[in-house]
Structures are given as structure tokens and as C-alpha cells.
Structure 1
Amino acid sequence: MPEYWIGLDTGYDSTSFCVTDEDGVIVTEGSCASEVDAVLEVISGYDLASLRQISIEAGVGTHIVRRLRALDYPVCVHETRRSGKFLAISRSKTDQNDAIGLAQFGRLAREVDAGVFVKSLECQNLRTRLTARHKLIELRMAIEGLVQSIVRLHGGKLKLSRRIGGLTEDIEVQLAALSADGLDVESDVRPLVTIAEAIRSLLADLDRRLKDMVKSHPVCSLLLTVPGVGPITAASYYSAVGSPDRFKNNRDVGSYFGLAPILRQSGRYSRQGGISKMGSKLTRIHLVTAATVLLSKSHSDCALRQWGIDLAKRTSRKKAQIALARKLAVVMLAMWKSGEKFDQHRGSQQNEASLGKMAGPDHALGTGHPSPQEVVRTGLPA
């Protein structure tokens, strides 16, 4: 029976496809609408047993991937960073050439590229909610900063209150003082304040729903027992990992979130650089924020916090934050697999030995002292 490899280059409106045989010879190629039924119509002419792999890049066609996998089609989602280098071999960058390249890439790299993990709908929906929250926070900070700069430009003093309605109350006092001096900035400031207050209300409702969901979720509620980890970090970690069985070794999760240092080696040259910053930037920010909270003076003491403090004394606080964030990721994955809650009353030696067993080599626990190049938005709560 002949075997076929299919490449799909999905776009918002149309999808280019290419079918090749076991020798790489193009059987058919063309384009169709970026809809599941249209793609099924293209591949339905081939027996399911003869299809070795359907290759698609991560991105737009996730809904197509889920539907095809539900019908038992062998779909592999390739990471764009890897497949992009292979597709760059072609001189002309076209959708059709990308479809041909994906079919060839799936045929040639099937033994070395396992593909990208496709999250469940639950994790994807939770991820969308967290991303929307992150963007709303950035928008709120930008608008409130603009209002504050306008008031300060004219000699006013505006302290940004975090409670809902606080900004409106504070701005009224400042507008009255500026109007007494003959300045008219009300028409510029009031619309911005209205938008900022609306965003604050939306964020408060979103945080409340996320908090309720995390407390009732079996995995997220378990992760909340880790010191420094709050509802946002727990939800972000759960939605980013999806399934703990993806990682054979717990220490691999540190590299997955880009928290492991990069080793550059060539001949006699060998240097350990900063962290890789691969994977989810949002979850990496949340993990580092959780580590920062754990190292703060206001947090209760535990063996994990003491480990971070000792590391900060030997290196620097920023390096300790990155290392502790990586250690938190490893510990949380081990807890997820075992179903055990975090025991912060363990002795430091016992806890360190337990964590070392779960995490593996010392460099994965953070003693490799990575360079802290990560930008952490401290405005995001853990």
C-alpha cells in the first residue's frame, strides 16, 4: 500500500495543501478554505491507513487539528522555530511552497521531531482568559500613567488608588485645584478616567471568577499549597503544562518555561549564558513573581524560602529569583504527579534532599546561577 504525507499551511482565509508519496514526489497540491469540512474533503480521497502524517505549523489551525485528531487522522503540529528553518531553504516564500515544505519536513523529520503538544479546550480557554487579563492590566497601567503624567505636568499630585472608584475620587480633587489655577484639562482627563475605572471593574470580576475556579479545581487548589503561589500563578502553570506526563523528568519543566541557562559550546569555547526565555513568557513572569513574593520579608519562613535566601547571599537577589522560580516549577510538577500537598514544615535538610530527588541535577535546581535577563512586571500579582 502506498504511503502519503500531507502538509497544510493554514491561514485565516485559505489553506494551502500538498500531498507527497514515500519518495517525496508531489501527488497533488492546491488550496482550500480554512475550514474543517474543506480540509476533510481534500484528504478524504486517501485511505486513512495510507496516511503516515499530516503536518501543520502551530498557530491558526488549532481547531482543524482537534477535529482531525478526533477522527483518528495522524496529525503532527510542528514548532514554527524548527519548521521555519527547514522552510527557509526554499528561495520563494509562498503559501504553496510552505505546504510542500511541511509535507517534506514531516516525512524527513518524523524520527526526530515529536511535534508540539496541543492543549485541551479547558486549558486553552483558561489560557485565553489569562492572556486577556494580562493585556487589560497593561492597558490599565498605560491609561493611569497617562492621567498621572497630565496632572503632574500642571503641578498636581495624583496618587493612584487601587480600589474601584478611587481614581475618580482622587481626580476630582486634582481637577478642582487645576481649575482654580485657570487650567482646563477636564475634557482630556475624564474620558481616560472612565476607561480606567471600567477596566478596573472588569479586572476585579475576572480575578474573582479565576479565584473561584482555582479553589474548586483539584490540580490548581493543590498548587496553591506551595508558598508564594497564588491563584493566577496556579492557573497559569496548569494551563501552560496541560498534562504532567509530557515531562519524563521533572527538571525538564524548567527548560520548558525558559528558566534554564543556555550553554554555548564550540571547540575549546564554552560559556554558560543567561536563561533561554523559551516557552510561555506569561507563565515565566508569573513564576518569577511568585519567587519574588516568596523571598519577600513579609512571607513566612520555610525551607524553600531559606534555600532562596541562602542562594541570594552567595550570588545576587535577582539570580536567586530566577533560580527559585525554576525550582518552584519543578516542585509544582512533582506535586502534580504525586498528588501530595507541599509540606513547608519539613526540616531544611530533609526538604532539600526531597527536592533534589524530584528535580535532578543541581544545575536544574538553580545552582547553575543563570543570568537574570528576565523582565518581571511587578504589577502582576502572583
Structure 2
Amino acid sequence: MNITTIGLDIAKNVFQVHGVDAHGKVVLRKQLRRIQVLAFFANLSPCLIGLEACAGAHYWGRELLKLGHDARLISPQFVKPYVKGNKNDANDAEAICEAVSRPSMHFVPLKSIEQQDIQMLHRVRSGLVKERTAQANRLRGLLSEYGIIIGQGLAQVRTRLPEILEDDKNGLTMAARQIFTDLQYQLRERDKQIAAYGEKILMLHRSSPASQTLGAVPGIGPITATALLAALGDGKAFDKARQVPAWLGLVPKQDSSGGKPKLLGISKRGDVYLRTLLIHGARAVVKAAAKKDDAHSRWINDLVQRRNVNIAAVAVANKNARIAWALLARTEAYRPPVPASV
């Protein structure tokens, strides 16, 4: 068999292989168990292998690269148009094989094990933050059933809850007080866990020259810098800086037709977590720019006057994403803007 291209549909235990030769003729259709996959590909001549970017795809991509194959990850939304007939493993593998051979196909950058370690830190911390928010909202909701109202925000919960538990005239029963005490303890434990993961991210930032370079950009702190490093790696997966904000959904969504361009709000594609970090950091830059007089701040202030603060924040986030790519891809140091008086 002279196989040149393979579509590999991965799962937990059952893997489907679809292979074609240089003329596009089907020469292989095979189902493999998980323990058979690496041995099977180790006995094949190097070829192009396409995988959907789903759970475990980066691991299998790295393993196939070690065996000498050219493994490429494709977003599932780009595979779906090539599926023929009903959805099943064989048809999915055939669709992946067809999609990976398209010359204009967009591929997902393959993450290294180090990038996945950093990303895991962020995912766990982000999950803990969501759990803490849910815990605080649960507390507020349960207290409202007893006629006790607490304002929104974690600061309100932290301040008011000890006072409520100490007040013996607010109508709370002993059973209710015990439950709210337990919830207060759980909330404090979440705070400790989040702080611990924040320290791990800070240590990682301080030990990484690339992350420290990114952290020098206004609006990019240790958390955003390490998240960018996990997502972009060395930046070589992108040819141009403007591809990065487009990948993150920081560019206008288009609805153009008949030669008439029509731009809408930002597309919000890609990594929601990273886009949120960039925009929140950009808001701080926009706020600080009002007291500065360098070229970058004047551009921001002019944008705020012409449009609004939110659009200016997204524009700064877009620019920061492009700067981050340039710093990583060219291994350069960040050069801050020079004030007009200097």
C-alpha cells in the first residue's frame, strides 16, 4: 500500500483509519483499538495524517510526529462539510482525510507538553474562580430565603457573612447557621486554592524569559502572559501578526455581499478565556491613557472620543495580541512608547 494521506478519527477506545494514495484512491479502511494505534503507525511509511482537534488530539499528534508522520489538527467545524451521508466513525475518518488534503485548509497549532502544562494551570484556576462565584451566589440566594439580602460581589459576601452569623436576632435557626458556616468555610478554601494557583502561575511567569517579555506590554500581566505563551508557543504557527487577533475573535464579523462591505461587532471566535484576559487588561490601559501623553495614549484617547471606551478597549486588545505575536516570533524585547516631552 502506497498511502500518502490518512484521516484518523480518534476516540477513547475505538479509532477509525481512512487512507488514500497519491491519486486519491481509497487503499485503507481499518478500525483500531487504542493499544494498536501506535504500533500500526510505526509500521507505516511517513505520510500526512489529519485529526480533529478534540480531546486527546494534541497527545496523538505529538506521538505521530515522533514516528515521523506529518500530523495536523483540524477544527471540527472545517471537517463537517466533507462528511458524506450519516455520521459514523468511517464517514468521519473519510471526511478528515479529505479535509486535511485541501491546500487552503486552516490547521490548529499543535501544542507541546509544556504548553499543555501551562494551559492546565489556567484551566484549573479558571474553574476554581467559577466555582467560587457559584458558591457566593448560592450563599446569597439561600440567605434571601431567610429575608437577609446581601449585595452582589464577593467583597459584599466576605464582609456581611461574618456579621450575619454573629447576629443572634436575624431569625436564623441553629441548623441554618451551621450550614452557612460550612459554606463560609468552603468559600475561604476556594480563595486559598485560587491564591495557590495564582502563585504557581506567577512563579512560572518569573522563570520564563518569553513570559516576562510579554508581561512588559501594558495590559498584559503574568496571567495573560502565561496564557498567551500556552496558546501561541513560539508564534510560528501564524504567518502574520494580524492573524492572531482574528484567531482570537478580536476583529469585526463580516456580513458583506455584492461588493458592499458590512462590518458587525467582534466575531468572538477562538479562545474565550484568552480574549477576556486581553480585553480586561486593555480596559486598564484605556483608563490609564487619559493621564498620559505618548503617541500610543493619544491614539487611545482619540479613539475613545470618536467611538467609545468599549471599542477602544477591544482595539487595544487587538494591538496587544499583534504585539505579543511579534515578540514571540521575532524574539525581541518590548519597546515602550516614548512620551511627547522626551
Q: TM-score scaled by structure 2?
A: 0.88
Partner of 1:363: none
Code of the residue aligned with 1:180 in structure 2: it is K
In 1: Cα distance, 2:207 partner to 2:199 partner = 13
The structural deviation recorded for 1:297 is: 4.9
Q: Confirm whether residue 247 of structure 1 aligns to residue 243 of structure 2.
A: no
Q: Which runs of 5+ in 1 are unaligned?
A: 351-382
SS at match of 2:32: strand
Q: Confirm whether residue 218 of structure 1 aligns to residue 209 of structure 2.
A: yes
Contact 1:20–1:104 (Cα < 8 Å) also in 2: no
Contact 1:335–1:342 (Cα < 8 Å) also in 2: no
Code of the residue aligned with 1:291 in structure 2: it is A
Partner of 2:41: 43
Partner of 1:138: 130
In 2: Cα distance, 1:30 partner to 1:63 partner = 21
Question: Counterparts in 2 of 1:106-185, with a 5 A limit?
Answer: 106-107=100-101, 109=102, 111-113=103-105, 115-156=107-148, 158=150, 167=158, 170-177=160-167, 179-184=168-173, 185=176
Q: Confirm whether residue 340 of structure 1 aligns to residue 309 of structure 2.
A: no
In 2: Cα distance, 1:161 partner to 1:58 partner = 36
SS at match of 1:270: coil
CA 1:318 to 1:200, structure 2 compared with 1: closer, same or farther past 3 Å?
Answer: same
Q: More displaced, 181-190 or 216-225?
A: 181-190
Q: More displaced, 149-158 or 280-289?
A: 149-158
Code of the residue aligned with 1:8 in structure 2: it is L
Q: Confirm whether residue 94 of structure 1 aligns to residue 88 of structure 2.
A: yes
CA 1:344 to 1:216, structure 2 compared with 1: closer, same or farther past 3 Å?
Answer: farther
The structural deviation recorded for 1:158 is: 4.5
SS at match of 2:280: helix
Partner of 2:24: 24
In 2: Cα distance, 1:346 partner to 1:334 partner = 22
| Match of residue 224, structure 2, among 233, 239, 255 | 233
The structural deviation recorded for 1:259 is: 0.5
In 1: Cα distance, 2:161 partner to 2:230 partner = 39
Q: Confirm whether residue 83 of structure 1 aligns to residue 83 of structure 2.
A: no
CA 1:200 to 1:162, structure 2 compared with 1: closer, same or farther past 3 Å?
Answer: farther
CA 1:161 to 1:23, structure 2 compared with 1: closer, same or farther past 3 Å?
Answer: closer
Deviations 1:37-65 (A, max 9, x none): x11333344333xx3x1111111332121
Contact 1:158–1:174 (Cα < 8 Å) also in 2: no
Deviations 1:90-136 (A, max 9, x none): 121001211122223334x1x22252210111111111111111111
Query: What RMSD over aligned residues (CA atoms) do the two structures have, in Å?
Result: 2.6
| Match of residue 325, structure 1, among 317, 320, 334 | 317
The structural deviation recorded for 1:151 is: 2.9
Question: Counterparts in 2 of 1:187-202, with a 5 A limit?
Answer: 187-202=178-193
Code of the residue aligned with 2:94 in structure 1: it is I
Partner of 2:247: 256
Q: How many residues align?
A: 336
Code of the residue aligned with 1:339 in structure 2: it is E
Code of the residue aligned with 1:105 in structure 2: it is A
Code of the residue aligned with 1:212 in structure 2: it is M
Partner of 2:257: 266
CA 1:299 to 1:309, structure 2 compared with 1: closer, same or farther past 3 Å?
Answer: closer
In 1: Cα distance, 2:29 partner to 2:170 partner = 72
CA 1:154 to 1:304, structure 2 compared with 1: closer, same or farther past 3 Å?
Answer: farther
In 1: Cα distance, 2:125 partner to 2:170 partner = 39
CA 1:181 to 1:3, structure 2 compared with 1: closer, same or farther past 3 Å?
Answer: closer
Q: More displaced, 152-161 or 313-322?
A: 152-161
SS at match of 2:236: helix
In 2: Cα distance, 1:45 partner to 1:250 partner = 40
The structural deviation recorded for 1:233 is: 1.1
Deviations 1:188-238 (A, max 9, x none): 323322221111100011111111221221011112222222111111112
The structural deviation recorded for 1:140 is: 0.4
In 2: Cα distance, 1:156 partner to 1:283 partner = 37
Contact 1:259–1:276 (Cα < 8 Å) also in 2: yes
Q: Which runs of 5+ in 2 are unaligned?
A: none
In 2: Cα distance, 1:217 partner to 1:299 partner = 32
In 1: Cα distance, 2:169 partner to 2:287 partner = 44
Code of the residue aligned with 1:285 in structure 2: it is T
CA 1:249 to 1:105, structure 2 compared with 1: closer, same or farther past 3 Å?
Answer: closer
Q: More displaced, 146-155 or 122-131?
A: 146-155
The structural deviation recorded for 1:283 is: 0.7
